[in-house]
């Protein structure tokens, strides 16, 4: 059985858990140590249940809590060389460097990393498999490449960034420079871009879609859910949003 959950997702902190059999990994950790332990507990886990932390890139909402969590619980951290180079307080003895083009294995999980366009040193995202099912994770990408479409096709579950509504970003309170960064090709996926990705890949096996990294300023769950539902031709109640505070409770792939 595979299952996944979120400790939380959004610009103030991100962390997801992916589990297959007895293997459990955390994707990113943008929360402080006590907060992370509290949120893990909410999911029935303790930090000692984690076999690895996989990092997508060095931005604080993804990497900010990783060093303390890894050191305190002696958890290995998998990441690209570029991300490691950009990480100031890296626990080098716990770092395991990967190529964003090569599959690797952590116990029961096969993990396919893939590069994404984002304004970080060497950002990558991950697709997880137990050999039969596939769970694709994507956050923090400014645009969608053909390679991303290929890697994310035919997944059983997708955890996808729906960051902002373009009109809300335009009319919102962010300074011009930040608006350009978020909306740019190395920024974050808009609802329309994320929905376009779903419309451009094989979703025939898809049983779970979790929308993630929603901006609290420039988006609403209702807007994101309605665009995702339209792209898939389903009703919005079939879909879920990962929340900044509440995260997302376990979803099982039987
Ligand atoms: Zn980022
Ligand atoms: Zn982020």
Which pLDDT tens digit goes with each residue over 73-97? 999 999 999 999 999 999 999 999 9
List, for residues 201-254, the tens digit of each pLDDT value. Answer: 999 999 999 999 999 999 999 999 999 999 999 998 889 999 999 999 999 998
Handedness of CA 228, 239, 206, 99 (dihedral sign): positive
| Closest listed residue to residue 227, CA positions, set 205, 248, 201, 196 | 196
Distance 62 CA to ligand 2 centre (A): 6
Structure confidence by residue, pLDDT tens digits, 28-42:
999 999 999 999 999
Ligand nearest to the CA of 120: 1
- The CA distance from 194 to 44, in Å, is 31
Which bound ligand lies closest to the C-alpha atom of 83? Answer: 1
Pairing of strands 109-115, 124-129: antiparallel
CA of 61 from ligand 2 middle (Å) equals: 5
The domains found in the chain, sorted by start residue, are 2-243 (3.60.15.10)
Give the tokens for residue 148.
């991303």
């Amino acid at each position: 059985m595979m299952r996944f959950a979120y400790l939380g997702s959004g610009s103030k902190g991100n962390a997801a858990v992916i589990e297959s059999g007895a293997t459990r990994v955390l994707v990113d950790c943008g929360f402080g140590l006590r907060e992370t332990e509290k949120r893990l507990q909410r999911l029935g886990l303790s930090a000692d249940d984690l076999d690895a932390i996989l990092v997508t890139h060095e931005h604080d909402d993804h990497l900010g809590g990783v060093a303390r969590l890894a050191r305190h619980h002696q958890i290995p951290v998998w990441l690209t060389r570029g991300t490691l180079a950009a990480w100031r307080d890296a626990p080098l003895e716990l770092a395991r460097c990967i190529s964003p083009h090569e599959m690797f294995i952590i116990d029961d999980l096969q993990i396919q990393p893939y590069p994404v366009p984002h304004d970080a040193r060497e950002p990558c995202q991950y697709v997880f498999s137990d050999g039969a099912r596939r769970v694709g994770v994507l956050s923090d990408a400014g645009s969608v490449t053909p390679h991303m479409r290929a890697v994310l096709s035919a997944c059983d579950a997708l955890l996808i960034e729906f960051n902002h509504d373009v009109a809300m970003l335009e009319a919102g309170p962010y300074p011009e420079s930040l608006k350009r960064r978020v909306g740019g090709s190395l920024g974050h996926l808009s609802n329309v871009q994320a929905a376009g990705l779903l419309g451009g890949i094989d979703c025939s096996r898809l049983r779970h879609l979790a929308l993630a990294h929603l901006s609290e300023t420039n988006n609403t769950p209702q807007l994101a859910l309605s665009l995702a539902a339209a792209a898939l031709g389903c009703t919005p109640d079939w879909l879920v949003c990962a929340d900044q505070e509440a995260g997302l409770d376990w979803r099982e792939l039987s």
